[in-house]
Structure 1
Amino acid sequence: MNSRTAFLLLLIFGFLITGLISLNGAVIALAIPLLVYLGIALWYSPTPPDLVAFRTLPLETVFPDTPVEVNIFLKNNGGDLPEVLIEDNVPEGLTVLDGETSRFLPLPAGEEIQLSYVVKGGRGDYRFTTLQVSYREGAGLFEGKIAVQASHRLMVRPRPRPLRSIPIRPPQTRGFAGPIPSRQGGVGVDFFLVREYQPGDPMRRINWKVTAREEQNLFTNLFEQQRVADVGIILDAREQSYGGSNDHLLFEYAVDAAASIADAFLRDGNRVGMLVYGAGIDTAFPGAGKIQHQRILQVLARAHLGSNYALESLSYLPTRFFPPHSQVVLISPLQPHDTEILITLRAHGYQVLVLSPDLIRFDAGQVAPNSPEELALRIALAERKFALQKLRRAGIQVLDWDVTLPLEQVVRQAIPLRPHLRRGMGMPV
């Protein structure tokens, strides 16, 4: 019952009660037209309609702020509907740029109508669900509302930035040709060692200078084989790592960096897996190729900051998700207690690379010279520098990323093009 029906009933009962109390038939007669009007409206009151809807999106996976046209087709398979109000539930986070998300019109039996509008939004996984359809008869006294299913999904993926190959040296590689030195002799471009000549060695690889020092033996140059590797990327999505905020802007930089790094490793032919560690654990199991690239971008599109008591520490990382002796890349602002866990991970045989967006500088902004805020900033930066140095001493590659600088520049400055291993350290210099 809507407000119009309630008002009509109030008038009818008012006239009837007033006429009975005053014994005035003229007042009672005033209620008769209203009763006839109510009866006609009740006779023509609409029954629940039979509506079918479907939704189309020309682009189901897009990059942020890309306009997407949403088309909705609604067909009436039941009786005539004199007045219908159609309203679409636009997911939160999408902005309507053009068109209409609701329409009020009559809908005869068998007729189909189309509703179109254009939206855009930031990174995320948006789910369109139902249409809200309100219907009523011509007098507007009796109405109903139903939800018509028109589900669809819009995936707004992060945009990978151009990033050249990242040189890494994991302890173990796979048996396919690639850009990573494998610590094994064979076909390659970098010198590996000299050994005695064996039947079948090409003559052009004989080292004549070493052979000249010997009377009977020949010696052959061996080159280091280059192969692909397993790379696991971990995106820290814990609220505590971003100052306790569930919508910190620095997290978007971290997501874009994860997409760019995954894209760079996949282009080199490596097997790459993605793990988002925050309110829960979302994963893309290790794989290679374009399909794996799409899987990783879908995982990153769903990534969001959250808090989970069971996942407050990195000690609960599912390390078995990554093959033993593989390359692990952690993207995180880092918490104080994360240092020891990463050192333990390195001790278990993983080659660890940490890309750490600088949360302190990002939140501090501009501070006045010689102010208490500047002193607090210097102390916080000194603590961060000490923690990163501790990781480096443990053989972990660390990239301290001031997000005002492009990621490509930070990677090139921190990691040389052809790293060589320090003796006994296992880290590139």
Structure 2
Amino acid sequence: MSVVADRETGRWTGVTAVALLAVGTALLVTHPPLLVVGVPAVVVGAAARFATPPEPSLAVEREVSATRVAPGDEVTVTLTLTNDGDATLPDLRVVDGVPDGMQVVEGSPRLGTALRPGASAALTYVAVPTRGSHAFDPVTVLARGYTGAHERELALDADAEPVVARPRLSASTVVPLREQATPYTGRLTTDTGGAGIEFHSVRDYRPGDPLSRVDWRRAARTGEFATVRFRQERAASVVLVVDTREEAHVAASTDAPGGPDGAARSATAAGELFASLLAAGDRVGLASFGPVDAWLAPGGGAEHRARAARLLGTDPAFSVAPSEEPFFAWLALRTLRRRLPGGSQVVLLSPLADDYVAEVARRLDAYGHPVTVVSPDPTGDATAGQQLARVERRLRLSRLRRAGIRAVDWGDEPLATAVAKARRRWSA
């Protein structure tokens, strides 16, 4: 417990002067009722003037229903305050230190109460966290004495683990990938013969060929042994690049602060696509493109999926608030290029709020990494400025498509619906 400040409240300002005036007037005009009113007021004013701030002894305990949740889950918080001192505290005002990334949806984190020695008071509220790690701030307490002329502000630490909201990576949406693959077996078909399920060609039998691939019908008909080759299926190596620059932290409306902006929606989509691509047998990586660097090389397996969930949920690179760190665009792009494995594809997730990120997509595609853009729409149409921003973003999408880059325009509908619409356009 630490004392933040002692200050006067100003509650009795001017009372003593008015009371003395009333007493003097009563004596001059010999008016006893006015004297009866004035004398107690003088006494109260004097007591308030010479009073000192209270010195409370308080213990605080915070209970949180869950500390490992998914973004949007409800968390119940109970704060209990106990008077450990020997004196009654007649006026306590308590405010819990709710993290900025948690929105109170039920109850209140504030309490006004009085506590006798040994007594306790509690408040309970329900909050919903956004993605990330949310540490509680100290509890703020204002303690006033009986006169209320002075108050002492205290900061009380309540031991409680941070609430960590990690996305649950659910495999529900798959973006069709471009025709480029790695040597690993997977879902992309190639023009190379080998093991697979789709017929490719027939060649002469060679010693050591599996008997299951011998064309026994041809052998029975002609007496010649031949081996059937199938079209090989290769796994794709995909890196999901999330635009985390300040320009990506844009939303259509500021009426609901704390709601998902373009960067937040991009990170959410990255988690969904990561799980889906991984479930399809692809090797998937994750990267940020912004002031704070984050990188997860392409891989597979349950542990790799867990690392991606931790990265999206707790890494500062994917914070729901824009970073104040400086951003050097040329350095970030060069670093990303050096990290991308040969033959890998890129799924760039960005609201396309400026021309530069569209240029990044074209450069990566030209460097030999086929790019697919998934773009959450952050624009509105309530003002002329919003309408202009919407037109500019649509022009960026059109230019990307003319350059041969696939683009998914994701509005208010589920991501799977937006992908399905884009696939129909790609196959048309």
Partners of 1:330 and 1:120 lie apart in 2 by 29
Pairwise CA distance, 1:233 = 0.8
Partners of 1:410 and 1:226 lie apart in 2 by 27
Match of 1:34 in 2: 43
Maintained 8 Å contact 2:102/2:128: yes
Percent of paired sites with the same residue: 25
Maintained 8 Å contact 2:362/2:400: no
Match of 1:292 in 2: 307
Residue 258, structure 1, aligned to residue 270, structure 2: yes
Of 49, 57, 60, the match for 2:57? 49
- Give the partner amino acid of 1:168: L
Q: What per-residue deviation string (whole Å, max 9, x for no partner) do you get for residues 280-319 of structure 1?
A: 2353624542523522541597344578763456745633
Match of 2:31 in 1: none
Match of 1:422 in 2: none
Unaligned runs of 5+ in 2: 1-7, 29-34, 255-259
Partners of 2:179 and 2:319 lie apart in 1 by 29
Partners of 1:346 and 1:275 lie apart in 2 by 16
Partners of 2:390 and 2:105 lie apart in 1 by 42
Of 320, 323, 347, the match for 1:329? 347
Partners of 1:127 and 1:202 lie apart in 2 by 60
Partners of 1:404 and 1:52 lie apart in 2 by 43
Change in CA separation of 1:203 and 1:110 when aligned onto 2, cut-off 3 Å: same
Maintained 8 Å contact 2:381/2:387: no
Of 365, 376, 384, the match for 1:346? 365
The CA RMSD measured in Å over matched residues stands at: 5.1
Partners of 1:320 and 1:107 lie apart in 2 by 63
| 1:201 counterpart SS class | coil
Aligned positions of 1:408-419 closer than 5 A: 408-412=416-420, 414-415=422-423
Unaligned runs of 5+ in 1: 368-372, 420-427
Aligned positions of 1:6-405 closer than 5 A: 7=14, 34=43, 38=47, 42=51, 46-58=54-66, 60-64=68-72, 66-83=73-90, 84-92=92-100, 94-120=102-128, 126-150=134-158, 152-155=161-164, 163-168=172-177, 171=180, 173=182, 178-181=186-189, 187-192=195-200, 194-207=202-215, 218-223=225-230, 226=233, 228-240=235-247, 253-278=265-290, 280-281=291-292, 283=294, 285-286=296-297, 288-289=301-302, 290-298=305-313, 302-304=319-321, 310-311=327-328, 315=333, 318-334=336-352, 335-338=354-357, 341-357=360-376, 363=380, 384-390=397-403, 392=404, 396=405, 398-401=406-409, 403=411
Change in CA separation of 1:323 and 1:110 when aligned onto 2, cut-off 3 Å: farther
Task: Give the TM-score normalised by structure 2.
Answer: 0.69
Partners of 2:329 and 2:278 lie apart in 1 by 30
Pairwise CA distance, 1:77 = 4.1
**Farther off after superposition, 77-86 or 249-258:** 249-258
Change in CA separation of 1:117 and 1:351 when aligned onto 2, cut-off 3 Å: same
- Give the partner amino acid of 2:274: A
Pairwise CA distance, 1:47 = 2.2
Partners of 2:320 and 2:41 lie apart in 1 by 64
Maintained 8 Å contact 1:41/1:141: no
Q: What per-residue deviation string (whole Å, max 9, x for no partner) do you get for residues 163-191 of structure 1?
A: 3544436755375x644458776543234
| 1:310 counterpart SS class | coil
Partners of 1:375 and 1:125 lie apart in 2 by 36
Change in CA separation of 1:387 and 1:232 when aligned onto 2, cut-off 3 Å: closer
- Give the partner amino acid of 1:310: F
Q: What per-residue deviation string (whole Å, max 9, x for no partner) do you get for residues 25-68 of structure 1?
A: xx9x969983997399748x53253534334133542343x433
Partners of 2:250 and 2:98 lie apart in 1 by 31
Partners of 2:69 and 2:358 lie apart in 1 by 37
- Give the partner amino acid of 1:80: A
Partners of 1:365 and 1:141 lie apart in 2 by 49
Change in CA separation of 1:142 and 1:131 when aligned onto 2, cut-off 3 Å: same
Partners of 1:73 and 1:96 lie apart in 2 by 18
Task: Give the TM-score normalised by structure 1.
Answer: 0.69
Maintained 8 Å contact 1:240/1:307: no
